[in-house]
């Protein structure tokens, strides 16, 4: 069986860590692309040698040439600026749209069959931009945020309840920003409602910490934003696609009427498998959670409209 090729655009913190995990998990051969001369090439060489040390038969290549992504099954877009302390993700809008828009055009030309996983922030609007610029069906343009945000919440709940994170089930939907929507009504610990172990006020504090999880790390690192958990989250999605796991994971996709929303990219549970998004899963929400999801969608739409004023062609 031939191995799929996973292309990673942007060989920075998230991109290189994603490439490393992809080879450790033997998900496919890896192509790293970055605009900085030597960066992707150098990291790829290092990764190739890591693969040899690990004894995994994975090919890794690094380049500045986008033609190298031809034939890639999955393209992960991590190119762009990351937050510095005090910045919101939306502060990256103009700069990252100027980077991601042309990348989407290249993907459409060079890897027209690829499934694209978008990572660059502001995530929901960048996903919408890639969808528009590539012209790909929504099944093949998927934003990564929900797995990460939910993972952060699971980590905090597990720590609070002194259980393994594997025993915690929790999902964060909505946008990747202030408007993320923890589905508190369905959080469970060991299959039982979380409120049996953690009081509602504490649970709300943990949700708030997850909501600010990225900023907490940026404030500590100062020079970069998080990358281990983001890369692990990308890899969970790549794994579901490459191994056709049909896993239900929260991810950013364009809605076409689900949850009462249309023509907006927002985080919802989706089933991921070899075609990309197999289906959007309509999870029961309380009225408050549904209202919060709609508010998040309005905010994404308003940031999108802001982008249109900056880039009339977007």
Q: Which residues bind ligand NAD (CB under 6 A)?
A: 9-15, 33-36, 39, 78-83, 92, 96, 99, 103, 119-121, 123, 144-145, 148, 176, 224-227, 230
Which member of 20, 176, 197, 211 is catalytic?
A: 176
Shortest distance in whole angstroms from residue 228 CB to ligand NAD: 10
Q: Do the beta carbons of residue 254 and residue 128 sit within 8 Å?
A: yes
Shortest distance in whole angstroms from residue 231 CB to ligand NAD: 8
Cα–Cα distance, 39 to 32 (Å, whole number) = 9
Sign of CA dihedral 262, 268, 272, 278: negative
75 sits in which H/E element: strand 74-77
Nearer Cβ to ligand NAD, position 20 or 176? 176
Nearer Cβ to ligand NAD, position 171 or 189? 171
- Tokens in use for 87? 């910045």
Determine the residue with CB nearest ligand NAD. 12
Nearer Cβ to ligand NAD, position 198 or 207? 207
Shortest distance in whole angstroms from residue 50 CB to ligand NAD: 18
Cα–Cα distance, 154 to 167 (Å, whole number) = 9
Nearer Cβ to ligand NAD, position 83 or 140? 83
Shortest distance in whole angstroms from residue 202 CB to ligand NAD: 25
What's the distance, CA 314 to chain centroid? 21
Nearer Cβ to ligand NAD, position 146 or 273? 146
Nearer Cβ to ligand NAD, position 189 or 241? 241
Shortest distance in whole angstroms from residue 178 CB to ligand NAD: 14
Shortest distance in whole angstroms from residue 310 CB to ligand NAD: 17
Cα–Cα distance, 214 to 210 (Å, whole number) = 8
The 3-state DSSP class for residue 9 equals strand
Cα–Cα distance, 295 to 11 (Å, whole number) = 34
Cα–Cα distance, 252 to 127 (Å, whole number) = 7
Place of tokens 């929901």: 124
- Tokens in use for 17? 């860590």
What stretches of the chain show up as alpha helix (H) in DSSP? 13-24, 39-54, 93-110, 123-134, 146-161, 200-211, 213-221, 228-242, 287-310
Cα–Cα distance, 139 to 265 (Å, whole number) = 12
Q: Is 20 a catalytic residue?
A: no
Residues with a catalytic annotation lie at 176
């Amino acid at each position: 069986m031939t191995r799929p090729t996973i292309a990673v655009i942007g060989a920075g913190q998230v991109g290189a860590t994603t490439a490393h995990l992809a080879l450790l998990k033997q998900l496919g051969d890896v192509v790293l692309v970055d605009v900085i001369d030597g960066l992707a090439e150098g990291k790829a060489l290092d990764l190739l040698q890591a693969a040899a040390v690990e004894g995994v038969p994975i090919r890794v290549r690094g380049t500045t040439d986008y033609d190298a992504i031809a034939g890639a099954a999955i393209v992960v877009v991590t190119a762009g600026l990351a937050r510095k302390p005090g910045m919101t993700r939306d502060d990256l809008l103009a700069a990252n749209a100027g980077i991601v828009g042309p990348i989407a055009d290249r993907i459409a030309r060079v890897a027209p069959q690829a499934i694209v996983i978008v990572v660059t922030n502001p995530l929901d609007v960048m996903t919408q931009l890639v969808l528009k610029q590539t012209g790909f069906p929504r099944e093949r343009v998927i934003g990564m945020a929900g797995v990460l945000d939910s993972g952060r919440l699971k980590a905090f709940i597990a720590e609070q309840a002194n259980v393994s994170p594997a025993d915690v089930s929790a999902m964060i939907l909505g946008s990747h920003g202030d408007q993320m929507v923890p589905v508190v009504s369905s959080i469970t610990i060991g299959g039982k409602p979380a409120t049996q172990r953690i009081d509602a006020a504490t649970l709300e504090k943990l949700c708030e910490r997850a909501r600010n999880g990225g900023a907490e790390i940026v404030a500590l690192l100062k020079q970069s934003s998080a990358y281990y958990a983001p890369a692990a989250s990308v890899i969970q999605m790549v794994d579901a696609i490459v191994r056709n796991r049909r896993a239900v994971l929260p991810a950013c996709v364009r809605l076409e009427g689900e949850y009462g929303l249309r023509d907006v990219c927002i985080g919802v549970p989706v089933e991921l498998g070899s075609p990309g998004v197999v289906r959007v899963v309509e999870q029961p929400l309380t009225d408050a959670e549904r209202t919060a999801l709609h508010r998040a969608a309005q905010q994404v739409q308003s940031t999108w409209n802001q982008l249109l004023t900056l880039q009339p062609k977007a």
